[in-house]
Amino acid sequence: MFGTVYVCLIRCIIIIFSLFFSMKQIFYSLQTMLNAKWTNFIKIISVSLGLFATLLLFLFSAYNHSFDKCYKDYDNLYQLWMIWNIDGKENVPSQKCIGKLAGGVFEEMNDVIESAATCIRSGSILYSDNKEFEAQTICADSLFFQTMGIETLSGNPIQDLSLPSTIYLSDYLAHEMFGDENPIGKIVSLDKTEILTVKGVYKGLPNNITLNHDAVISLPTIWGRYGNYSWSGGDSWNEYIRLKKDVSVSHENLLMRINNVLQANAPDTEDVKIRVDARPITDTYFSDSRVKQEDIIISILALILFLTTIFNYILITLASLSRRTKAVGVHKCCGATDGSILRMFLWETTIVMFISIILIILFCFVMQRFMTTVTLGQLLTSDRLWIVIVIFALFFLIGGVVPGRIFSRIPVTQVFRRFTENKKAWKRVLLFSEFSCTAFITGVLAISTIQHSFLMDYDVGYDSDCLAYGFVNKECADWLESRQYVKAVTNSASMPIWGYSGAMMRNESGKTMFSTRYDFIWPNYFDVMGIQLIKGRMPNAPTEIVVNERFVREMLWNDSVIGRTIPNTEFYDMMTVVGVCRDFNIGGFIGEQKPIALLPNLNKNMYDVTVVRLNQPVKENLKRLNAELEEAFPGRDMQFYDMGALVKNSFAPLREFRNYVLVVTLIIMFITVIGMTGFVRDEVQRRRKEIAIRRVNGADSSTIIDMFVSSTLKIAIPATVLGSVGAWICGQYIVGMFSIKPNYSNAIYILSALVVLILIALMVVMLIWKASRENPVNNLKSE
């Protein structure tokens, strides 16, 4: 069926081209392609797949590099970073700054700074008329839009955002919530806790920004909830400054002045020194080492895939050398110049590219369904079209010109004799490259699969499988306790997967040690969450806390832990450690395990997150819970969500990365098999006389097979070694992206190299099988 479609397609193209072009080279190219239908079909499929995946990967990399470039004059926009040095030990730079930094810096440096803004992430669910809308919100000050360079479509943000209970919606969220109605003056609520009035609408931002938000809430709204907006501690704020356009200031000078402002307001102590860095906002996304490493790997994969695609195209084209020499010679005898022959090959490449483009568009439609974290429309924007053009241009120039030049330079005298192309160096180099790429990508696939499986099986330190979470009030929490399918109910301020707020910790002598993450929990929290208490007990008093193992290590408590005291905390003057829990993951799997302090909520006050442990079957019970909630609390629109699914979803970027590698591996393997098939067939054609003579002189088919396998392995073994070394280097990057690393032996690379070699050998045996058993007389006759 494919063959018929292919022939029809080619015939249509012949007609179209014949109508619009008189150039006979096109006709000859098409005729030649039709004559080798299967070869060209395979060639087109491999080029389409190769270029499609190459484009996707390069576009993805370009997308990564476009983060935060949507802001007006983004070159002048800087984010403030804080580097804490505690007791001589410098922490990694943090995006979270102390509250008053940006405002203070703006006040003191308004000769160079046009504007500054401070913001903090807040809830992700808005309600309007009891309808729920998933929307990422942030709380920001009145200069936020001006500083970031975000266009406001209505409202006066400088005035509005300085008042409490005010919200600005992005244009798309406003449309989603209120349709064509004017949103100004509408009332919405944040997590059913804050009542907000819509005072303005701003132009929504694309996905490729580091500070995502669908709505901006005025900062005064949350003063009660997030109190530490000061010069001391409270390192929870994202802060930005916009430099004046017409003022020139060196980066060193800018940093010096900012740090002077900080010193004036939050001077260094003996133990704690803080330094501020101002980085262009476009650097923020790549400040995450995982993103940087992933981008490097994606770029390497794209480059390797692109080279493999081109090499394979050249290899398949060159593989037809012995078959096509005669035609080239005849053309030349009839008056064709080298240029005419080159043009014929360029036309051939053009036709292949033309059909490939059609197929690539089809692949795009199919692929669209499987892309989760980023859509094709987000990748392929008009400003990134140049990537598509460059990829195709390079393919045309290399894939078309190189074989075209080789063919056009065939000495015309060869047409009088059978042309035996002895210079195999080209083909060997190309095949070597393909084998190297295959070994490389197989090794990379092996290691990323190991990492992925390891993370999927990784014990996060709590059991999220039967848990559901929601945002409910005390009345509802009590109601939940009475449900027979609800095993237990608990509450906390945040969830491990979202991460916790930070607070400075001091040791017993008052020395600042580190910033711990902390949460407020109900007494039954560990039981419900499945967190293991390994020492001591749960707190019985407000001043008692439970810490994790990392906390103990950071405090350098080598001996007994229970009963240790922590002075001068943000919460109480003195707190006592009464228990140690096993480390559990917070904030995802990328960063290191963090120290955690869990403070008791003995009165069972309601903080943001309520967690329930459900009986089996969880899915049905969760459904039932939500249905009954709706009935029991009509109009309150409270809902519970599957925590297990949320935890699993946090693997989505890794899964997508692993899928990218898997797809690239399959494509490269497919391309390599095609390239190798062409090479071996060409070798059989070239050496058919030799095979026949060997057969006549007593060689059996196994000797012939052995001969071809050995000659192919001579190329494959060094190529595979090289590819595996590359995979090993790349593997270090991949594993380095995660704080949680699997234990694996480097033998995995040797094993994957062996798999590649065995596959190559098997392929050669399959391809040579028939030729090795052919009657030698036939081959000698054709001589």
Partner 1 sequence: MIKIENLTKVFRTSEIETVALNNVNLNVESGEFVAVMGPSGCGKSTLLNIIGLLDNPTSGFYALNGVEVSNLKEKERTGFRKGKIGFVFQSFNLIDELNVSQNVELPLIYLGISASERKRRVSEMLERMNISHRAHHMPQQLSGGQQQRVAIARAIVTAPGLILADEPTGNLDSKNGKEVMELLTELNRQGTTIVMVTHSAHDASYAHRVVNLFDGAIISESSNPTMLM
175 binds partner 1 (CB under 8 A): no
88 binds partner 1 (CB under 8 A): no
For residue 30 the two structure tokens come to 């098409």
| Rounded-to-integer distance, Cα 748 and Cα 402, Å | 37
Q: Under rule CB under 8 A, which residues in 89-118 are in contact with partner 1?
A: none
Residues 6+ apart with CB under 8 A from 278: 78, 79, 80, 81, 241, 251, 254, 255, 258
Least distance between partner 1 and beta carbon 415 (Å):
6
Contact 644, 467 (CB under 8 A): yes
Stretch that binds partner 1, among 44-52, 408-416, 546-554, 611-619 (CB under 8 A): 408-416
421 binds partner 1 (CB under 8 A): no
38 binds partner 1 (CB under 8 A): no
| Number of shown-chain residues binding partner 1 (CB under 8 A) | 26
84 binds partner 1 (CB under 8 A): no
Stretch that binds partner 1, among 25-33, 432-440, 471-479, 679-687 (CB under 8 A): 25-33
| Rounded-to-integer distance, Cα 288 and Cα 299, Å | 17
Residues 6+ apart with CB under 8 A from 56: 367, 379
Q: Would residue 676 be called left, alpha or beta, if left means φ above 0 and alpha means ψ between -120 and 50 degrees? A: alpha
424 binds partner 1 (CB under 8 A): no
Q: Using CB under 8 A, which of 6, 32, 353, 724 touches partner 1?
A: 32
187 binds partner 1 (CB under 8 A): no
Contact 500, 517 (CB under 8 A): yes
3-state DSSP helix/strand/coil % of the chain, to nearest 5: 55, 15, 30
412 binds partner 1 (CB under 8 A): yes
Stretch that binds partner 1, among 7-15, 208-216, 335-343, 378-386 (CB under 8 A): 335-343
Please say which residue, 350 or 639, places its beta carbon nearer to partner 1.
350
Torsion sign across C-alpha atoms 67, 69, 70, 71: positive
613 binds partner 1 (CB under 8 A): no
Residues 6+ apart with CB under 8 A from 745: none
CA distances, 409 to each of 136, 329, 338, 402 (Å): 63, 10, 7, 11
327 binds partner 1 (CB under 8 A): yes
| Rounded-to-integer distance, Cα 423 and Cα 677, Å | 19
* DSSP-assigned states of every residue in 351-415: HHHHHHHHHHHHHHHHHHTT--SS-HHHHS-GGGHHHHHHHHHHIIIIIIHHHHHHHHTS-GGGG
Contact 701, 691 (CB under 8 A): no
Residues 6+ apart with CB under 8 A from 337: none
Please say which residue, 373 or 778, places its beta carbon nearer to partner 1.
778
Please say which residue, 321 or 547, places its beta carbon nearer to partner 1.
321
Least distance between partner 1 and beta carbon 336 (Å):
5
Q: Using CB under 8 A, which of 3, 411, 510, 718 touches partner 1?
A: 411
Please say which residue, 335 or 563, places its beta carbon nearer to partner 1.
335
Contact 118, 140 (CB under 8 A): yes
Least distance between partner 1 and beta carbon 355 (Å):
18
The site map against partner 1 for 425-464 (x = CB under 8 A) is ----------------------------------------
Stretch that binds partner 1, among 57-65, 334-342, 430-438, 704-712 (CB under 8 A): 334-342
Least distance between partner 1 and beta carbon 407 (Å):
14
Please say which residue, 408 or 491, places its beta carbon nearer to partner 1.
408
317 binds partner 1 (CB under 8 A): no
| Rounded-to-integer distance, Cα 130 and Cα 181, Å | 17
Q: Under rule CB under 8 A, which residues in 537-566 are in contact with partner 1?
A: none
417 binds partner 1 (CB under 8 A): yes
Contact 548, 582 (CB under 8 A): yes
Please say which residue, 365 or 416, places its beta carbon nearer to partner 1.
416
Please say which residue, 23 or 83, places its beta carbon nearer to partner 1.
23
31 binds partner 1 (CB under 8 A): yes
Please say which residue, 357 or 412, places its beta carbon nearer to partner 1.
412
Least distance between partner 1 and beta carbon 409 (Å):
9
Q: Using CB under 8 A, which of 157, 200, 234, 329 touches partner 1?
A: 329
19 binds partner 1 (CB under 8 A): no
Contact 493, 608 (CB under 8 A): yes
Q: Using CB under 8 A, which of 368, 413, 540, 616 touches partner 1?
A: 413
Q: Using CB under 8 A, which of 28, 178, 435, 640 touches partner 1?
A: 28
Stretch that binds partner 1, among 330-338, 423-431, 457-465, 674-682 (CB under 8 A): 330-338
Please say which residue, 24 or 384, places its beta carbon nearer to partner 1.
24
334 binds partner 1 (CB under 8 A): yes
330 binds partner 1 (CB under 8 A): yes
* Amino acid in the structure at residue 235: D
343 binds partner 1 (CB under 8 A): no
Please say which residue, 26 or 704, places its beta carbon nearer to partner 1.
26
337 binds partner 1 (CB under 8 A): yes
Contact 54, 305 (CB under 8 A): yes
Q: Using CB under 8 A, which of 34, 380, 632, 707 touches partner 1?
A: 34
Q: Which DSSP letter does residue 207 get?
A: S
| Rounded-to-integer distance, Cα 779 and Cα 771, Å | 10
* φ and ψ at residue 558, rounded to 5 degrees: -85, -35
677 binds partner 1 (CB under 8 A): no
Stretch that binds partner 1, among 90-98, 210-218, 306-314, 405-413 (CB under 8 A): 405-413
- Give the Cβ contact number of residue 501 at 10 Å: 18
Alpha helices, H only, 21-74: 24-35, 37-65
467 binds partner 1 (CB under 8 A): no
Least distance between partner 1 and beta carbon 417 (Å):
8
| Rounded-to-integer distance, Cα 526 and Cα 533, Å | 7
Stretch that binds partner 1, among 32-40, 91-99, 240-248, 621-629 (CB under 8 A): 32-40
128 binds partner 1 (CB under 8 A): no
3-state secondary structure of 154: strand
242 binds partner 1 (CB under 8 A): no
| Rounded-to-integer distance, Cα 210 and Cα 65, Å | 12
344 binds partner 1 (CB under 8 A): no
Stretch that binds partner 1, among 28-36, 45-53, 114-122, 645-653 (CB under 8 A): 28-36
Contact 523, 538 (CB under 8 A): yes
Contact 481, 538 (CB under 8 A): no
335 binds partner 1 (CB under 8 A): yes
Three-state secondary structure of 735-746 = HHCCCCCCCCCC
401 binds partner 1 (CB under 8 A): no
Q: Using CB under 8 A, which of 415, 513, 580, 629 touches partner 1?
A: 415
| Rounded-to-integer distance, Cα 154 and Cα 175, Å | 14
Least distance between partner 1 and beta carbon 339 (Å):
8
CA distances, 270 to each of 267, 273, 370, 512 (Å): 10, 8, 54, 9
Q: By the criterion CB under 8 A, which residues form the site for partner 1?
A: 22, 24, 28, 31-32, 34-35, 326-327, 329-338, 340, 411-413, 415-417
